[in-house]
Structure 1
Protein backbone atom coordinates (compact mmCIF):
# COMPACT_ATOMS: atom_id res chain seq x y z
CA UNK A 1 0.00 0.00 0.00
CA UNK A 2 1.42 3.40 -1.00
CA UNK A 3 1.17 6.50 1.19
CA UNK A 4 -1.82 8.58 0.19
CA UNK A 5 -3.71 11.70 1.09
CA UNK A 6 -7.02 9.91 1.71
CA UNK A 7 -7.57 6.36 2.94
CA UNK A 8 -10.79 4.56 2.07
CA UNK A 9 -12.11 1.59 4.03
CA UNK A 10 -13.63 -0.92 1.63
CA UNK A 11 -16.28 -3.55 2.29
CA UNK A 12 -15.38 -7.18 1.73
CA UNK A 13 -17.14 -7.67 -1.60
CA UNK A 14 -16.49 -8.00 -5.29
CA UNK A 15 -18.59 -5.55 -7.28
CA UNK A 16 -17.78 -3.47 -10.37
CA UNK A 17 -15.96 -0.23 -9.55
CA UNK A 18 -16.19 2.02 -12.61
CA UNK A 19 -14.62 5.47 -12.76
CA UNK A 20 -16.70 7.70 -10.51
CA UNK A 21 -17.18 4.96 -7.93
CA UNK A 22 -15.44 5.65 -4.63
CA UNK A 23 -13.76 2.25 -4.84
CA UNK A 24 -11.90 3.17 -8.04
CA UNK A 25 -8.73 5.26 -7.40
CA UNK A 26 -9.10 6.78 -10.89
CA UNK A 27 -12.17 8.63 -9.58
CA UNK A 28 -9.89 11.07 -7.74
CA UNK A 29 -7.31 13.64 -8.92
CA UNK A 30 -5.17 12.92 -5.85
CA UNK A 31 -3.67 9.79 -4.26
CA UNK A 32 -5.99 7.48 -2.35
CA UNK A 33 -5.33 4.14 -0.69
CA UNK A 34 -7.93 1.40 -0.35
CA UNK A 35 -7.99 -1.24 2.38
CA UNK A 36 -10.55 -4.04 2.59
CA UNK A 37 -12.13 -4.64 5.97
CA UNK A 38 -12.22 -8.41 6.00
CA UNK A 39 -15.59 -9.83 6.95
CA UNK A 40 -17.47 -6.58 6.33
CA UNK A 41 -20.06 -8.05 3.99
CA UNK A 42 -22.52 -5.91 2.07
CA UNK A 43 -25.56 -7.53 3.65
CA UNK A 44 -24.19 -7.04 7.15
CA UNK A 45 -23.78 -3.31 6.51
CA UNK A 46 -26.95 -2.64 4.52
CA UNK A 47 -29.37 -4.92 6.32
CA UNK A 48 -27.97 -5.24 9.86
CA UNK A 49 -26.63 -1.73 10.64
CA UNK A 50 -22.99 -2.92 10.44
CA UNK A 51 -23.53 -4.62 13.78
CA UNK A 52 -20.33 -6.05 15.25
CA UNK A 53 -18.08 -4.53 12.61
CA UNK A 54 -16.81 -1.45 14.43
CA UNK A 55 -13.59 -3.05 15.79
CA UNK A 56 -12.60 -4.41 12.38
CA UNK A 57 -13.44 -1.15 10.61
CA UNK A 58 -11.42 0.80 13.18
CA UNK A 59 -8.43 -1.51 12.75
CA UNK A 60 -8.59 -1.21 8.97
CA UNK A 61 -8.86 2.56 9.18
CA UNK A 62 -5.89 2.74 11.55
CA UNK A 63 -3.82 0.71 9.09
CA UNK A 64 -4.48 3.39 6.47
CA UNK A 65 -3.37 6.09 8.90
CA UNK A 66 -0.22 4.10 9.62
CA UNK A 67 0.50 4.12 5.90
CA UNK A 68 0.25 7.92 5.79
CA UNK A 69 -3.40 8.76 5.11
CA UNK A 70 -4.25 12.29 6.24
CA UNK A 71 -8.02 11.72 6.17
CA UNK A 72 -10.34 8.73 6.07
CA UNK A 73 -13.55 7.77 4.33
CA UNK A 74 -15.40 4.57 3.44
CA UNK A 75 -16.92 2.87 0.42
CA UNK A 76 -20.40 2.67 1.94
CA UNK A 77 -22.58 5.50 3.19
CA UNK A 78 -24.35 3.15 5.61
CA UNK A 79 -21.20 3.27 7.74
CA UNK A 80 -22.51 6.66 8.83
CA UNK A 81 -23.87 4.68 11.74
CA UNK A 82 -20.30 4.50 13.16
CA UNK A 83 -19.27 8.08 12.30
CA UNK A 84 -19.07 9.31 15.88
CA UNK A 85 -17.14 6.31 17.22
CA UNK A 86 -14.64 6.34 14.36
CA UNK A 87 -14.06 10.09 14.55
CA UNK A 88 -13.49 9.79 18.29
CA UNK A 89 -10.99 6.94 18.09
CA UNK A 90 -8.87 7.78 15.04
CA UNK A 91 -6.15 10.46 14.88
CA UNK A 92 -7.14 12.03 11.54
CA UNK A 93 -10.43 13.49 10.24
CA UNK A 94 -13.01 10.84 9.37
CA UNK A 95 -15.84 11.31 6.85
CA UNK A 96 -17.67 7.99 6.71
CA UNK A 97 -20.59 8.97 4.53
CA UNK A 98 -21.83 11.48 1.99
CA UNK A 99 -24.78 11.95 4.37
CA UNK A 100 -22.53 14.27 6.37
CA UNK A 101 -23.29 16.85 3.68
CA UNK A 102 -27.05 16.85 4.27
CA UNK A 103 -27.20 19.43 7.10
CA UNK A 104 -24.99 21.79 5.07
CA UNK A 105 -26.97 21.38 1.85
CA UNK A 106 -30.22 22.05 3.71
CA UNK A 107 -28.76 25.43 4.68
CA UNK A 108 -28.42 26.23 0.97
CA UNK A 109 -32.08 25.61 0.17
CA UNK A 110 -35.26 27.55 0.75
CA UNK A 111 -37.06 26.65 4.01
CA UNK A 112 -39.86 24.80 2.23
CA UNK A 113 -37.47 22.66 0.19
CA UNK A 114 -36.22 19.19 1.03
CA UNK A 115 -33.31 16.95 0.09
CA UNK A 116 -33.75 13.68 -1.76
CA UNK A 117 -31.35 11.14 -0.28
CA UNK A 118 -30.78 8.45 -2.90
CA UNK A 119 -29.70 5.31 -1.15
CA UNK A 120 -28.90 1.70 -1.95
CA UNK A 121 -31.75 0.53 0.27
CA UNK A 122 -34.39 2.93 1.48
CA UNK A 123 -36.00 0.33 3.73
CA UNK A 124 -32.88 -0.12 5.89
CA UNK A 125 -31.49 3.43 6.00
CA UNK A 126 -32.84 4.47 9.40
CA UNK A 127 -33.14 7.56 11.54
CA UNK A 128 -30.22 6.16 13.55
CA UNK A 129 -27.96 6.35 10.49
CA UNK A 130 -29.13 9.89 9.81
CA UNK A 131 -28.79 11.05 13.40
CA UNK A 132 -25.24 9.74 13.62
CA UNK A 133 -24.12 12.31 11.04
CA UNK A 134 -26.01 15.28 12.43
CA UNK A 135 -29.34 14.89 10.65
CA UNK A 136 -31.45 15.26 13.77
CA UNK A 137 -35.18 14.67 14.02
CA UNK A 138 -35.91 18.27 13.07
CA UNK A 139 -33.82 18.08 9.91
CA UNK A 140 -35.23 14.66 9.06
CA UNK A 141 -38.55 16.38 8.40
CA UNK A 142 -36.87 17.95 5.34
CA UNK A 143 -35.46 14.68 3.98
CA UNK A 144 -36.96 12.26 1.48
CA UNK A 145 -35.28 8.84 1.50
CA UNK A 146 -35.31 7.37 -2.01
CA UNK A 147 -34.15 3.78 -2.34
CA UNK A 148 -32.93 1.98 -5.46
CA UNK A 149 -33.58 -1.47 -4.01
CA UNK A 150 -36.38 -2.09 -6.52
CA UNK A 151 -34.23 -1.53 -9.62
CA UNK A 152 -34.15 -4.63 -11.79
CA UNK A 153 -30.44 -4.48 -12.61
CA UNK A 154 -28.34 -2.16 -10.45
CA UNK A 155 -29.36 -3.27 -6.98
CA UNK A 156 -28.65 -6.89 -7.84
CA UNK A 157 -25.20 -5.96 -9.10
CA UNK A 158 -24.40 -4.07 -5.90
CA UNK A 159 -25.49 -6.90 -3.61
CA UNK A 160 -24.21 -9.94 -5.55
CA UNK A 161 -20.49 -10.61 -5.72
CA UNK A 162 -19.17 -10.99 -9.24
CA UNK A 163 -22.18 -9.66 -11.15
CA UNK A 164 -21.52 -7.63 -14.29
CA UNK A 165 -22.60 -4.02 -14.57
CA UNK A 166 -24.32 -2.54 -17.61
CA UNK A 167 -23.71 1.16 -17.03
CA UNK A 168 -26.28 2.33 -19.54
CA UNK A 169 -29.00 0.23 -17.92
CA UNK A 170 -27.90 1.30 -14.44
CA UNK A 171 -27.93 4.97 -15.41
CA UNK A 172 -31.39 4.70 -16.91
CA UNK A 173 -32.66 3.06 -13.72
CA UNK A 174 -31.10 5.66 -11.42
CA UNK A 175 -32.33 8.56 -13.54
CA UNK A 176 -35.80 7.03 -13.59
CA UNK A 177 -35.85 6.79 -9.79
CA UNK A 178 -34.66 10.41 -9.43
CA UNK A 179 -37.21 11.76 -11.90
CA UNK A 180 -40.04 9.88 -10.21
CA UNK A 181 -38.91 11.26 -6.86
CA UNK A 182 -39.09 14.84 -8.13
CA UNK A 183 -42.48 14.25 -9.74
CA UNK A 184 -43.82 12.83 -6.48
CA UNK A 185 -42.05 15.38 -4.28
CA UNK A 186 -41.59 18.63 -6.23
CA UNK A 187 -40.25 20.28 -3.06
CA UNK A 188 -36.98 18.34 -3.50
CA UNK A 189 -34.41 21.08 -4.09
CA UNK A 190 -31.29 18.93 -4.23
CA UNK A 191 -30.06 15.36 -4.08
CA UNK A 192 -27.44 13.81 -1.84
CA UNK A 193 -26.41 10.33 -2.97
CA UNK A 194 -25.75 8.03 -0.02
CA UNK A 195 -24.54 5.12 -2.10
CA UNK A 196 -20.88 5.37 -3.11
CA UNK A 197 -21.63 3.45 -6.31
CA UNK A 198 -23.97 6.19 -7.56
CA UNK A 199 -21.58 9.11 -8.31
CA UNK A 200 -21.00 7.88 -11.89
CA UNK A 201 -24.62 8.92 -12.48
CA UNK A 202 -24.57 12.25 -10.61
CA UNK A 203 -24.34 14.35 -13.76
CA UNK A 204 -27.19 12.47 -15.41
CA UNK A 205 -29.36 12.97 -12.31
CA UNK A 206 -28.60 16.68 -12.32
CA UNK A 207 -29.34 17.06 -16.02
CA UNK A 208 -32.58 15.06 -15.90
CA UNK A 209 -34.05 16.66 -12.76
CA UNK A 210 -32.58 20.17 -12.83
CA UNK A 211 -31.49 19.72 -9.19
CA UNK A 212 -27.93 20.01 -7.87
CA UNK A 213 -26.31 16.79 -6.68
CA UNK A 214 -23.80 16.06 -3.95
CA UNK A 215 -22.25 12.64 -3.47
CA UNK A 216 -19.38 10.73 -1.89
CA UNK A 217 -16.89 12.09 -4.41
CA UNK A 218 -17.75 15.68 -3.53
CA UNK A 219 -17.38 14.79 0.17
CA UNK A 220 -13.96 13.18 -0.25
CA UNK A 221 -12.68 16.01 -2.45
CA UNK A 222 -13.76 18.46 0.27
CA UNK A 223 -12.01 16.32 2.87
CA UNK A 224 -8.82 16.20 0.81
CA UNK A 225 -8.75 19.96 0.40
CA UNK A 226 -9.10 20.45 4.12
CA UNK A 227 -6.40 18.01 5.21
CA UNK A 228 -3.87 18.99 2.55
CA UNK A 229 -4.62 22.69 2.11
CA UNK A 230 -4.04 22.46 -1.64
CA UNK A 231 -5.98 21.83 -4.81
CA UNK A 232 -4.89 18.77 -6.83
CA UNK A 233 -2.98 19.73 -9.97
Structure 2
Protein backbone atom coordinates (compact mmCIF):
# COMPACT_ATOMS: atom_id res chain seq x y z
CA UNK A 1 0.00 0.00 0.00
CA UNK A 2 1.13 3.63 -0.53
CA UNK A 3 3.17 5.56 2.05
CA UNK A 4 4.18 2.38 3.85
CA UNK A 5 0.64 1.58 5.03
CA UNK A 6 -0.06 -2.12 5.56
CA UNK A 7 -2.97 -3.72 7.37
CA UNK A 8 -4.65 -6.98 8.30
CA UNK A 9 -8.41 -6.51 7.91
CA UNK A 10 -10.04 -9.91 7.46
CA UNK A 11 -9.43 -13.60 8.04
CA UNK A 12 -8.21 -14.20 4.50
CA UNK A 13 -5.43 -11.67 5.05
CA UNK A 14 -3.82 -14.01 7.57
CA UNK A 15 -2.87 -16.29 4.67
CA UNK A 16 -0.79 -13.60 3.00
CA UNK A 17 2.95 -13.17 3.24
CA UNK A 18 3.91 -9.65 4.26
CA UNK A 19 7.12 -8.05 3.11
CA UNK A 20 7.77 -4.92 5.15
CA UNK A 21 10.74 -2.86 3.91
CA UNK A 22 11.33 -1.13 7.26
CA UNK A 23 10.62 -3.54 10.11
CA UNK A 24 10.48 -2.09 13.64
CA UNK A 25 10.62 -3.44 17.16
CA UNK A 26 6.98 -2.41 17.78
CA UNK A 27 4.11 -1.40 15.52
CA UNK A 28 0.44 -0.50 15.39
CA UNK A 29 0.53 3.03 16.83
CA UNK A 30 -1.09 5.56 14.52
CA UNK A 31 -0.33 8.71 16.52
CA UNK A 32 3.01 9.90 17.86
CA UNK A 33 2.93 12.50 20.63
CA UNK A 34 5.77 14.85 21.55
CA UNK A 35 5.55 15.47 25.28
CA UNK A 36 7.50 17.91 27.43
CA UNK A 37 8.96 16.27 30.55
CA UNK A 38 6.61 17.78 33.12
CA UNK A 39 6.04 16.12 36.48
CA UNK A 40 2.51 16.40 37.91
CA UNK A 41 -0.54 14.08 38.04
CA UNK A 42 -2.22 13.61 34.66
CA UNK A 43 -5.83 12.42 34.62
CA UNK A 44 -7.47 10.22 31.99
CA UNK A 45 -8.39 12.68 29.26
CA UNK A 46 -5.00 14.38 29.48
CA UNK A 47 -3.01 14.07 26.23
CA UNK A 48 -0.17 12.37 28.09
CA UNK A 49 -2.33 9.80 29.83
CA UNK A 50 -2.39 6.83 27.45
CA UNK A 51 -5.71 5.53 28.82
CA UNK A 52 -7.34 8.53 27.15
CA UNK A 53 -7.32 6.72 23.81
CA UNK A 54 -9.11 3.72 22.32
CA UNK A 55 -6.05 3.06 20.16
CA UNK A 56 -2.29 2.82 20.70
CA UNK A 57 -0.19 5.99 20.78
CA UNK A 58 3.57 6.41 21.00
CA UNK A 59 5.20 9.12 23.12
CA UNK A 60 8.51 10.90 22.65
CA UNK A 61 9.81 12.95 25.58
CA UNK A 62 11.54 16.30 25.12
CA UNK A 63 13.25 18.20 27.90
CA UNK A 64 13.12 21.98 28.15
CA UNK A 65 11.30 24.63 30.17
CA UNK A 66 7.62 24.93 29.24
CA UNK A 67 7.98 28.74 29.23
CA UNK A 68 10.41 28.36 26.32
CA UNK A 69 7.68 26.62 24.37
CA UNK A 70 5.12 29.26 25.31
CA UNK A 71 7.48 31.93 24.01
CA UNK A 72 8.39 30.03 20.83
CA UNK A 73 12.10 30.01 21.68
CA UNK A 74 13.88 29.32 18.39
CA UNK A 75 16.49 27.24 20.23
CA UNK A 76 13.86 24.49 20.63
CA UNK A 77 13.32 24.00 16.91
CA UNK A 78 15.96 21.33 16.30
CA UNK A 79 14.97 19.34 19.41
CA UNK A 80 11.30 19.29 18.41
CA UNK A 81 12.03 18.34 14.80
CA UNK A 82 14.35 15.55 15.97
CA UNK A 83 11.63 14.15 18.24
CA UNK A 84 9.08 14.27 15.42
CA UNK A 85 11.47 12.49 13.07
CA UNK A 86 12.10 9.76 15.65
CA UNK A 87 8.35 9.18 15.92
CA UNK A 88 8.08 9.06 12.14
CA UNK A 89 10.91 6.53 12.00
CA UNK A 90 9.05 4.37 14.53
CA UNK A 91 6.11 4.14 12.15
CA UNK A 92 3.47 6.55 13.42
CA UNK A 93 1.12 7.95 10.79
CA UNK A 94 0.75 11.46 12.24
CA UNK A 95 2.55 13.52 14.89
CA UNK A 96 0.99 15.84 17.46
CA UNK A 97 2.37 17.83 20.36
CA UNK A 98 1.21 17.76 23.97
CA UNK A 99 0.89 21.52 24.39
CA UNK A 100 -1.01 24.07 22.35
CA UNK A 101 2.13 26.21 22.07
CA UNK A 102 3.77 23.63 19.83
CA UNK A 103 1.90 25.82 17.33
CA UNK A 104 5.07 27.93 17.31
CA UNK A 105 6.78 25.08 15.44
CA UNK A 106 3.90 23.73 13.35
CA UNK A 107 5.28 24.74 9.94
CA UNK A 108 8.86 23.72 10.81
CA UNK A 109 7.81 20.20 11.78
CA UNK A 110 5.28 19.74 8.97
CA UNK A 111 7.97 20.69 6.44
CA UNK A 112 10.47 18.28 8.02
CA UNK A 113 8.28 15.15 7.83
CA UNK A 114 6.77 12.94 5.15
CA UNK A 115 3.74 12.26 7.37
CA UNK A 116 1.24 14.86 8.63
CA UNK A 117 1.98 16.95 11.72
CA UNK A 118 -0.84 18.50 13.75
CA UNK A 119 1.23 19.85 16.60
CA UNK A 120 -1.31 22.05 18.36
CA UNK A 121 -4.96 21.91 19.33
CA UNK A 122 -5.16 25.29 17.60
CA UNK A 123 -4.71 23.84 14.12
CA UNK A 124 -8.47 23.17 14.41
CA UNK A 125 -9.27 26.89 14.41
CA UNK A 126 -9.93 27.27 10.65
CA UNK A 127 -12.23 24.26 10.62
CA UNK A 128 -14.17 25.59 13.62
CA UNK A 129 -14.45 29.01 12.01
CA UNK A 130 -15.73 27.47 8.77
CA UNK A 131 -18.53 25.71 10.62
CA UNK A 132 -19.78 28.73 12.52
CA UNK A 133 -22.41 31.20 11.40
CA UNK A 134 -21.01 34.48 10.06
CA UNK A 135 -20.23 36.81 12.94
CA UNK A 136 -19.73 34.03 15.48
CA UNK A 137 -16.36 33.78 17.20
CA UNK A 138 -14.24 31.16 18.93
CA UNK A 139 -13.51 31.35 22.65
CA UNK A 140 -10.03 30.01 23.47
CA UNK A 141 -9.26 28.91 27.02
CA UNK A 142 -5.49 28.87 27.45
CA UNK A 143 -2.75 28.34 30.00
CA UNK A 144 -0.85 31.42 28.80
CA UNK A 145 -2.95 34.12 27.18
CA UNK A 146 -0.11 36.58 26.64
CA UNK A 147 1.69 34.05 24.47
CA UNK A 148 -1.16 33.59 21.98
CA UNK A 149 0.03 36.30 19.63
CA UNK A 150 -1.69 37.77 16.61
CA UNK A 151 1.00 36.11 14.48
CA UNK A 152 0.28 32.70 15.99
CA UNK A 153 -3.43 33.01 15.26
CA UNK A 154 -2.73 34.05 11.68
CA UNK A 155 -0.27 31.18 11.30
CA UNK A 156 -3.03 28.86 12.50
CA UNK A 157 -5.34 30.17 9.77
CA UNK A 158 -7.58 32.67 11.56
CA UNK A 159 -7.41 36.34 12.46
CA UNK A 160 -7.23 37.81 15.97
CA UNK A 161 -10.70 39.21 15.35
CA UNK A 162 -12.06 35.66 15.02
CA UNK A 163 -11.21 34.76 18.63
CA UNK A 164 -11.59 35.73 22.27
CA UNK A 165 -8.81 34.66 24.65
CA UNK A 166 -9.52 33.59 28.24
CA UNK A 167 -6.31 33.11 30.22
CA UNK A 168 -6.36 30.69 33.17
CA UNK A 169 -2.59 30.39 33.62
CA UNK A 170 -2.48 33.05 36.31
CA UNK A 171 -5.66 31.95 38.07
CA UNK A 172 -5.10 30.52 41.54
CA UNK A 173 -7.19 27.44 40.83
CA UNK A 174 -4.96 26.32 37.96
CA UNK A 175 -1.62 26.67 39.74
CA UNK A 176 -1.22 22.98 40.68
CA UNK A 177 -0.91 22.24 36.95
CA UNK A 178 0.74 25.44 35.76
CA UNK A 179 3.57 25.21 38.28
CA UNK A 180 4.01 21.41 38.40
CA UNK A 181 2.78 20.69 41.91
CA UNK A 182 3.18 17.03 42.96
CA UNK A 183 -0.57 16.86 43.57
CA UNK A 184 -3.65 17.87 41.61
CA UNK A 185 -6.36 20.04 43.15
CA UNK A 186 -8.92 18.60 40.78
CA UNK A 187 -11.94 20.46 42.12
CA UNK A 188 -10.18 23.80 41.93
CA UNK A 189 -8.90 23.14 38.41
CA UNK A 190 -12.35 22.09 37.24
CA UNK A 191 -14.00 25.18 38.74
CA UNK A 192 -11.38 27.43 37.15
CA UNK A 193 -11.92 25.99 33.67
CA UNK A 194 -15.71 26.03 33.86
CA UNK A 195 -15.65 29.60 35.16
CA UNK A 196 -13.43 30.60 32.23
CA UNK A 197 -16.00 29.22 29.82
CA UNK A 198 -18.79 31.06 31.64
CA UNK A 199 -16.77 34.27 31.43
CA UNK A 200 -16.44 33.90 27.67
CA UNK A 201 -20.14 33.45 26.98
CA UNK A 202 -21.27 36.04 29.55
CA UNK A 203 -18.90 38.70 28.25
CA UNK A 204 -19.32 37.89 24.56
CA UNK A 205 -22.71 36.84 23.23
CA UNK A 206 -21.23 36.00 19.83
CA UNK A 207 -19.14 33.01 21.00
CA UNK A 208 -20.13 30.03 18.84
CA UNK A 209 -17.64 27.40 20.04
CA UNK A 210 -14.94 26.83 22.66
CA UNK A 211 -11.40 25.63 21.98
CA UNK A 212 -9.31 24.32 24.88
CA UNK A 213 -5.69 25.14 24.01
CA UNK A 214 -3.98 23.31 26.85
CA UNK A 215 -3.31 19.56 26.78
CA UNK A 216 -4.27 19.33 30.48
CA UNK A 217 -7.81 20.65 30.01
CA UNK A 218 -9.62 17.91 28.01
CA UNK A 219 -10.62 15.99 31.19
CA UNK A 220 -12.95 18.93 31.88
CA UNK A 221 -14.32 19.40 28.35
CA UNK A 222 -17.63 17.72 29.18
CA UNK A 223 -18.09 20.04 32.16
CA UNK A 224 -17.51 23.06 29.94
CA UNK A 225 -20.07 21.79 27.45
CA UNK A 226 -22.61 21.07 30.19
CA UNK A 227 -22.18 24.61 31.46
CA UNK A 228 -22.28 26.64 28.22
CA UNK A 229 -24.03 24.31 25.77
CA UNK A 230 -21.58 24.93 22.91
CA UNK A 231 -19.32 22.72 20.78
CA UNK A 232 -16.05 22.14 22.62
CA UNK A 233 -12.86 21.30 20.74
CA UNK A 234 -9.59 20.22 22.32
CA UNK A 235 -6.52 18.06 21.75
CA UNK A 236 -8.55 14.86 21.94
CA UNK A 237 -10.97 15.90 19.20
CA UNK A 238 -7.87 16.64 17.11
CA UNK A 239 -6.10 13.36 17.89
CA UNK A 240 -9.21 11.24 17.31
CA UNK A 241 -9.69 12.99 13.95
CA UNK A 242 -6.06 12.38 12.92
CA UNK A 243 -6.24 8.75 14.02
CA UNK A 244 -9.38 7.98 12.06
CA UNK A 245 -8.03 9.74 8.98
CA UNK A 246 -4.88 7.63 9.05
CA UNK A 247 -6.41 4.26 10.03
CA UNK A 248 -9.56 3.92 7.93
CA UNK A 249 -11.44 0.66 8.47
CA UNK A 250 -14.09 -1.20 6.48
CA UNK A 251 -17.72 -0.77 7.48
CA UNK A 252 -19.97 -3.74 8.26
CA UNK A 253 -23.74 -3.79 8.43
CA UNK A 254 -26.72 -4.50 6.23
CA UNK A 255 -28.96 -2.69 3.75
**Common fold by TM > 0.5:** yes
Q: Which has the higher contact order (CA 8 A, sep 6+)?
A: 1
In the TM superposition, residue 160 of structure 1 has moved relative to its aligned partner by 2.2
- Measured in 2, the distance between the counterparts of 1:170 and 1:17 equals 12
TM-score (norm 2): 0.84
- Superposed displacement of residue 50, structure 1: 3.4
1:36-51 aligned at under 5 Å gives the runs: 36-38=61-63, 40-46=64-70, 48-51=71-74
CA distance in 1, matches of 2:232, 2:164: 14
Q: Over aligned residues, Cα RMSD in angstroms?
A: 1.5
| Moved beyond 6 Å, runs of 4+ | none
Question: Is 1:228 aligned to residue 243 of structure 2?
Answer: no
Cα distance in 2 for partners of 1:127, 1:227 equals: 31
Name the SS of the counterpart of 2:184 in structure 1: coil
TM-score (norm 1): 0.92
Structure 2 spans left out of the alignment, 5+ residues: 1-24, 251-255
Three-state SS of the structure 2 residue aligned to 1:112 is coil
Q: Following TM superposition, by how much is the alpha carbon of 1:2 offset from its aligned partner in structure 2, in angstroms?
A: 4.3
User: Residue 140 of structure 2 contacts residue 166 of structure 2 at CA under 8 Å; is this kept in 1?
Assistant: yes
Specify the alignment match of 2:50 in structure 1: 25
Residues 34-71 of structure 1 deviation map (CA, whole Å, 9 limit, x = unaligned): 11112x2211112x223310100111111111111111
The residue number in structure 1 matching 2:230 is 211
Instruction: Provide the rounded CA distance (Å) in 1 between the counterparts of 2:50 and 2:249.
Output: 19
1:102 Cα shift? 0.9
Unaligned 5+ runs, structure 1: none
Q: Greater CA radius of gyration, 1 or 2?
A: 2
Distance in 2 separating the partners of 1:35 and 1:165 = 24
